[in-house]
């Protein structure tokens, strides 16, 4: 019995504390008026100028609290009235006495129009009339209800995005929350779905800001810090909308920093791979606009890539490929061949991308030619054909001005061209080419010249002579042509001078000493949880496009494989976490600036890699943060599935018209159109139950040690 009594007393004390905590949100000096009417979506409140002045004003979009609770009371948290209805100021409301007040105001103005006094001076209006004129109606949007709810023996603050009931015959006082109460409101989070294991590591990203016009009244009580849940970005879509110079880049830096700091709390699981395609070079290079660039936040966990070296970034890795690949030590070993030729195929894909808009058929033929290794290289004839294909392709690269690596200083052509074929070539009049092809190896000058003769013989003026040889060849080789479609496709690029010249245009992407594909290395860095910044500020638009798409293809495919083929232990069993769930692919975040040029619009190619990442990336744990000046250019299906929103200044009603469709951004449209202040955004994240107007803090990074692990607890 004694234990039961203690339990009852404890529960009563706990409930009393919960009731007092809710009451602490309201203060007598923060009363702004009384509730006149309320329904499930809208409220009308009566305010007085003196009350508005005492709380520093009621700007459009500011939060208010309506309640029947009394200041300093200790209510039962289970009572229906023990609740705070959260309102947002949406505009002015008409009061029943509007006609009278307009007439009184008109009369007072007539009396003062020929004097230097205001119409509300004592001589122009009596105090009773002035008091009536200083009342006004404010229209508010109902955002939801705060109350304490008992869960697992503990009273927790809860927010419901609606109201469960209202009574037309009951009054409510209305307060403007400030200080700690406002801080609690704007930083309240209500995660949806399965919570991420790193949830709870809130990061401050700015301060509450209701309006462009700033006043000095008790700023610390209204401009309270605003935090966000960094894990809201993981495997989600995040939109940053705003004009140039509206603070989109600074917001990206703030988001990157908030995710980077997760490693302070958990050195393993907090390592989130982040990829930035730096179009303007502002994330990886110090510049006059910023106080320290993102590259500086870590010496070990930030990796930069670029097409060219940078004098102040000695650790930068170059985006280069050895288009020739490596020498193959054993042509009968599939793995050895694939390993040696991986970069050669990567280079071919770069060329293919470069030729993607080509209309000439001979370029299309070359682009459509695959250099994939045959399924089996055991058969001698298959091995010979493939070796010949590789040698011819490398000769074409040489003709286009690509320097071969040291290990391939010569073309190894032993056994690739039979005596019968060389005789036919010599009979056609290409004696030097025939002698060159009889060698076990030849200089690239000699072999590339022979390849040009080969092209003429098979596809050009010597085609008739080749067909005579080929008809006899087919009789003894089961009807197979000597020159298969792959070889013909490669040689077709020599049909016109423009073919080799078009390949020459990507020569600056080649480095004969590189041994690894940059795209593969970037994905490796992301999987290891590093921040990778790809400097695209210097380079032709086509190069920038190819670079980003290659990396995204590699990333998407790597994550897809990890999703469809989960990690297994030595016994072949699928690896599971502590809760018995299959371990998903590692989280990776990609930041895409100028998204209107990357993401699909209404008439875009929905099969592009950016479209696939935008539509399917979440499933494969690829989070996408996209920024643009043109929300209307983004495919509606992507917008509909965007979880996090940061909206700054937009100067076009076509763009704000698109925003009106989502959440209650409609309330902020006028402000979004009118206020160009840098960093002033309307934020709505996955775990935020309502939009919060925020002045994003300026990113400052002077010392990377601030981001090292501290073993702090959530």
Whether the pLDDT of residue 5 is over 60: the answer is no
Q: Which residue reads 């502590």 in tokens?
A: 578
Q: Which two tokens stand for residue 456?
A: 């003429």
CA nearest neighbour of 319 among 452, 599, 571, 511: 511
Q: Which two tokens stand for residue 488?
A: 């013909």
Give me the pLDDT at residue 313, please.
83
DSSP one-letter string for 317-332: EE--B-TT----S-TT
- At residue 390 the predicted structure's pLDDT band, cuts being 50, 70 and 90, is very high
Whether the pLDDT of residue 126 is over 70: the answer is no
Give me the pLDDT at residue 600, please.
67
Give me the pLDDT at residue 566, please.
81
* Integer Cα distance of 420 and 271 in angstroms: 62
257-310 residue pLDDT tens: 999 999 888 888 889 999 999 888 888 887 656 666 888 888 889 999 987 778
Cβ atoms of 186 and 714 within 8 Å: the answer is no
Q: Quick one: which H or E segment has residue 47? A: strand 42-48
User: 355-359, long-range: CB within 8 Å, 24+ apart, which pairs?
Assistant: 355/502, 358/502
Phi, psi of 297 (to 5 degrees): -75, -10
Q: What is the number of other CB atoms lying within 10 angstroms of the CB of residue 322?
A: 24
467: Cα separation from own chain's centroid:
56
Give me the pLDDT at residue 701, please.
77
Give me the pLDDT at residue 215, please.
62
17-74 residue pLDDT tens: 888 999 899 999 999 999 999 988 999 999 987 888 888 889 999 999 999 999 988 8
Across residues 377-392, what is the average pLDDT?
92
Q: Which residue reads 């965007």 in tokens?
A: 642
Cβ atoms of 221 and 608 within 8 Å: the answer is no
For 605, the 3-state DSSP assignment is coil
197-225 residue pLDDT tens: 778 888 999 999 998 886 654 456 788 99
470-502 in b/e form (b: 16+ CB < 10 A) is beebeeeeeeebbbeebbbbbbbbbbeeebbeb
In residues, how long is the chain? 714
* Integer Cα distance of 419 and 251 in angstroms: 68
Q: Which two tokens stand for residue 140?
A: 């508010």
637-668 residue pLDDT tens: 888 889 999 999 998 888 888 889 888 899 99
Phi, psi of 404 (to 5 degrees): -75, 155
Whether the pLDDT of residue 483 is over 80: the answer is yes
CA nearest neighbour of 344 among 396, 419, 282: 396
Cβ atoms of 510 and 344 within 8 Å: the answer is no
DSSP one-letter string for 615-667: HHGGGGTEEEEEEES-GGGS-HHHHHT--EEEE-----HHHHHHHTTSTTGGG
Domains in the chain with CATH codes: 2-188 (no CATH), 229-320+514-567+585-706 (3.40.50.300), 334-509 (no CATH)
CA nearest neighbour of 466 among 448, 454, 476: 454
CB-based contacts of 622, cutoff 8 Å, min separation 6: 235, 555, 556, 559, 588, 589, 590, 613
Q: Quick one: which H or E segment has residue 52? A: helix 49-54
CA nearest neighbour of 694 among 686, 683, 678, 703: 683
* Integer Cα distance of 49 and 136 in angstroms: 8
Q: Which residue reads 């060219």 in tokens?
A: 308
DSSP one-letter string for 274-300: EEEEESSSTTTS--TTSBS-GGGG-SS
Cβ atoms of 398 and 448 within 8 Å: the answer is yes
Alpha-carbon separation of residue 599 from 305, 406, 558 (angstroms): 23, 41, 20
For 1, the 3-state DSSP assignment is coil
In 198-282, the DSSP E strands lie at 203-208, 225-228, 237-241, 273-278
CA nearest neighbour of 201 among 161, 228, 178, 221: 228
* Integer Cα distance of 444 and 457 in angstroms: 19
Alpha-carbon separation of residue 312 from 220, 284, 296, 309, 430 (angstroms): 40, 10, 12, 9, 54
* Integer Cα distance of 678 and 380 in angstroms: 68
Give me the pLDDT at residue 128, please.
64
Q: What is the number of other CB atoms lying within 10 angstroms of the CB of residue 264?
A: 16
What does the angle CA 86 – CA 92 – CA 93 come to, to the nearest 5 degrees? Answer: 90
* Integer Cα distance of 70 and 104 in angstroms: 35
Phi, psi of 373 (to 5 degrees): -70, 135
Give me the pLDDT at residue 574, please.
80
- At residue 570 the predicted structure's pLDDT band, cuts being 50, 70 and 90, is confident
Q: Which two tokens stand for residue 396?
A: 């074409």
In the chain, count H helices and then E strands. 23, 21
With a threshold of 0.75, does the pTM exceed it? yes
Give me the pLDDT at residue 536, please.
85
* Integer Cα distance of 514 and 268 in angstroms: 31
- DSSP secondary-structure letter at 201? -
Please name every residue paired with 155 in a beta bridge, in sequence order, or none if there are none: 150
442: Cα separation from own chain's centroid:
50
* Integer Cα distance of 475 and 481 in angstroms: 10
């Amino acid at each position: 019995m004694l234990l039961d009594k203690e339990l009852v007393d404890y529960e009563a004390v706990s409930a009393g504390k919960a009731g007092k905590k809710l009451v602490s949100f309201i203060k007598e000096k923060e009363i702004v008026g009384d509730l006149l009417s309320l329904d499930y979506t809208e409220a009308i409140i009566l305010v007085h100028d003196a009350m508005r002045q005492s709380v520093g004003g009621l700007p459009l979009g500011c939060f208010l609290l309506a309640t029947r609770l009394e200041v300093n009371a200790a209510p039962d948290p289970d009572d229906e009235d023990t609740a705070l209805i959260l309102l947002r100021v949406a505009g002015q409301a008409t009061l029943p006495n509007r006609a009278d007040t307009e007439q009184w105001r008109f009369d007072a103005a007539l009396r003062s129009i020929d004097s230097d006094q205001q119409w509300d001076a004592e001589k122009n209006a009596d105090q009773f009339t002035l008091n009536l004129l200083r009342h006004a109606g404010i229209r508010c949007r109902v955002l939801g209800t705060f109350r304490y709810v008992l869960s697992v023996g503990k009273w927790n603050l809860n927010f419901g995005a609606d109201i469960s009931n209202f009574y037309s015959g009951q009054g409510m006082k209305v307060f403007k929350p400030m200080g700690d109460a406002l801080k609690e409101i704007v930083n309240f989070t209500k995660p949806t779905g399965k919570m991420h294991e790193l949830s709870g590591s809130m990061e401050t990203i700015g301060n509450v800001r209701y309006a462009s016009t700033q006043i000095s009244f008790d700023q610390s009580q209204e401009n309270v810090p605003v935090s966000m849940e960094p894990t809201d970005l993981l495997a989600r879509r995040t939109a940053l909308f705003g004009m140039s110079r509206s603070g989109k880049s600074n917001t990206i830096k703030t988001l990157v920093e908030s995710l980077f700091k997760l490693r302070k709390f958990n050195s393993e699981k907090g390592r989130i791979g982040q990829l930035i395609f730096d179009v303007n070079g502002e994330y990886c290079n110090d510049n006059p606009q910023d106080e320290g660039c993102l590259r500086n936040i870590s010496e070990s966990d930030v990796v930069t890539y670029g097409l060219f070296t940078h004098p102040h970034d000695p650790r930068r890795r170059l985006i280069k490929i050895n288009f020739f690949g490596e020498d193959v030590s054993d042509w009968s070993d599939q793995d050895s061949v694939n390993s040696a030729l991986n970069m050669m195929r990567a280079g071919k894909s770069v060329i293919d991308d470069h030729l993607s808009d080509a209309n000439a058929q001979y370029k299309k033929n070359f682009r459509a030619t695959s250099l994939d290794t045959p399924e089996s290289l055991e058969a001698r004839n298959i091995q010979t054909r493939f070796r010949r294909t590789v040698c011819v392709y490398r000769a074409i690269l040489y003709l286009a001005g690509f320097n071969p690596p040291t290990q391939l200083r010569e073309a190894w052509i032993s056994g690739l061209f039979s005596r019968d074929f060389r005789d036919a070539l010599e009979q056609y009049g290409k004696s030097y080419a025939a002698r060159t092809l009889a060698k076990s190896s030849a200089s690239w000058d000699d072999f590339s010249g022979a390849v040009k003769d080969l092209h003429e013989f098979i596809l050009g003026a010597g085609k008739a002579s080749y067909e005579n040889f080929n008809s006899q060849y087919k009789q003894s080789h089961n009807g197979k042509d000597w020159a298969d479609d792959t070889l013909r496709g490669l040689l077709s690029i020599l049909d016109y001078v423009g073919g080799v010249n078009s390949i020459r245009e990507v020569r600056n992407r080649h480095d004969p000493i590189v041994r690894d594909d940059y795209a593969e290395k970037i994905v490796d860095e992301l999987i290891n949880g590093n921040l990778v910044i790809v400097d695209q500020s210097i380079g032709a638009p086509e190069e920038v496009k190819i670079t980003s798409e290659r990396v995204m293809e590699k990333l998407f495919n790597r994550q897809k494989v990890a999703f469809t083929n989960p990690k297994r232990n030595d016994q072949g069993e699928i690896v599971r976490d502590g809760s018995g769930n299959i371990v998903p692919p590692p989280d990776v975040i990609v930041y895409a600036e100028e998204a209107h040029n990357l993401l699909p619009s209404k008439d875009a190619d929905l099969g592009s890699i950016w479209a696939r990442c935008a539509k399917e990336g979440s499933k494969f744990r690829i989070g996408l943060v996209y920024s643009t000046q043109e929300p209307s250019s983004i495919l509606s299906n992507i917008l509909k599935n965007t979880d996090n929103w940061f909206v700054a200044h937009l100067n076009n009603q076509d763009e704000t018209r698109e925003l009106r469709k989502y959440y209650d951004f409609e309330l902020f449209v006028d402000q979004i159109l009118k206020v160009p202040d840098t960093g002033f955004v309307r934020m709505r994240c996955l775990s935020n139950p309502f939009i919060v107007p925020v002045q994003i803090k300026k990113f400052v990074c002077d010392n990377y040690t601030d981001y090292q692990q501290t073993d702090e607890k959530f």
